[in-house]
Structure 1
Amino acid sequence: MTGMTWTITPEPYDSPAAAALWRAYYTEVSDRWYLLHQGHRTGPDELERQIAADTGAELAPPHGQLLVGRYDGTPAGSAGVRLLDPDTAELTRVFVAEGMRGRGGAALLVAAAEEAARALGARRIVLDTRGDLVEARALYARLGYTETGPHNTDPYAEHWFRKELPPAPAPDATSDPAGSVS
């Protein structure tokens, strides 16, 4: 399949693509938790209640951003950031659809989310995850995130990570449309 590529763009949190990816993400992580702790998948009523309860509105500008990754034009992954304070963004909803994994999408989504966080003014990015999501923990460690102490009280969070964001590159003085530098 030569020539197939990822494109990552901002997307409204309530768009059809974002909603479908949120449903797929939540279903997968919820089912994993229920199977591990209760021996069965998430019940349909519980699933619908939880999906509806977390709309993703906090991922809307000006204090957040949701990104959707498309592989050869098909929505295949997402990542979101939201400001917790002027210097700190939280990374959330990092997800790549099962059939699209192993194609580099997760690292691209996280990198795009880091850029979005920097554009929101953040100097650091934090996240939490569960212990059973070993793939996520390995990804974050590989991408330079350091495990830290808790930064929230989410009852499902078992691991917390942090990464300092390098400053955005300074604008090139030669690109000044006035052509002058003071």
Structure 2
Amino acid sequence: MPSTAFHLRLAIPEDVPAIEAIVEAAYAPYVPRMGKKPGPMLDDYAARVAEGVVQVATRDGTVEGVLVLLPGEDHLLLDNVAVAPSAQGSGLGRFLVAAAERAAADRGHKTLRLYTHETMTENIAMYLRLGYAETHRVTEKGFERVYLEKRVK
């Protein structure tokens, strides 16, 4: 029987195919709603891994989640969180968001920020349930983005 324990580690180049597959599968349902690929589907994950800003969540040795954190001047940006369809509903998404919050606090930031597309209403609702507050909406890089943030300890 598979375990439910997730482990988070820094991504390595060998993880890039799994990262790309997870991002593709996680965001594909939004393409018809948005009329184009969401930003995370356009990222260069080999470059992001080389920058050291990508972590992967594994369970039983299999990569099932992706977390991309980008440092800001006074905050940490949760740039991307993606969960493999096979792991959706397992709590992995919340595990990754909690890891991002801990990382922000550990790095001395008081705020974790993120954005999502305005059509990703399920994500917006989830972040609001997790204590995030919407700060603003903006058209950026051709996307209608909703910015949210949460104070971390």
- TM exceeds 0.5? yes
Please tell me whether residue 10 in structure 1 is matched to residue 10 in structure 2: yes
Match of 2:33 in 1: 36
Return the offset for 1:120: 2.6
- Classify 1:148/1:79 alpha carbon distance in 2 versus 1 (closer, same or farther; 3 Å): same
- Classify 1:37/1:125 alpha carbon distance in 2 versus 1 (closer, same or farther; 3 Å): closer
Q: In percent, how many aligned pairs have the same letter?
A: 23
Return the offset for 1:137: 1.6
- Classify 1:32/1:147 alpha carbon distance in 2 versus 1 (closer, same or farther; 3 Å): same
Structure that is richer in strand per residue: 2
Superposed CA offset, 1:3-48 (max 9, x none): 4321122324xx2224422343146425622x2354xx86xxxxx9
The AA in structure 2 aligned to 1:20 is: A
**SS of structure 1 residue aligned to 2:72:** strand
Q: Flag structure 2 segments of 5+ consecutive residues without an equivalent.
A: none
Return the offset for 1:111: 0.8
Q: How does 1:75-114 map to 2 (within 5 A)?
A: 75-85=63-73, 87-114=74-101
The AA in structure 1 aligned to 2:47 is: T
- Matching residue within 48, 52, 55 for 1:56: 48
Partners of 2:45 and 2:64 in 1: CA distance:
23
Partners of 1:20 and 1:3 in 2: CA distance:
20
Superposed CA offset, 1:43-82 (max 9, x none): xxxxx9x34488326852xxxx322111222100011211
**SS of structure 2 residue aligned to 1:56:** helix
Partners of 1:68 and 1:155 in 2: CA distance:
28
Partners of 1:84 and 1:132 in 2: CA distance:
25
The AA in structure 1 aligned to 2:48 is: G
Structure with greater Cα Rg: 1
Partners of 1:151 and 1:37 in 2: CA distance:
15
Partners of 1:3 and 1:117 in 2: CA distance:
28
- Classify 1:115/1:157 alpha carbon distance in 2 versus 1 (closer, same or farther; 3 Å): farther
- Classify 1:72/1:27 alpha carbon distance in 2 versus 1 (closer, same or farther; 3 Å): closer
TM-score when scaled to structure 1?
0.68
Please tell me whether residue 124 in structure 1 is matched to residue 111 in structure 2: yes
Partners of 1:127 and 1:117 in 2: CA distance:
12
Superposed CA offset, 1:60-110 (max 9, x none): 2xxxx322111222100011211121x211102201001110010001111
Please tell me whether residue 145 in structure 1 is matched to residue 137 in structure 2: no
Could you say what the CA RMSD is over the residues aligned between the two structures, in angstroms?
2.9
The AA in structure 1 aligned to 2:152 is: L
- Classify 1:152/1:116 alpha carbon distance in 2 versus 1 (closer, same or farther; 3 Å): farther
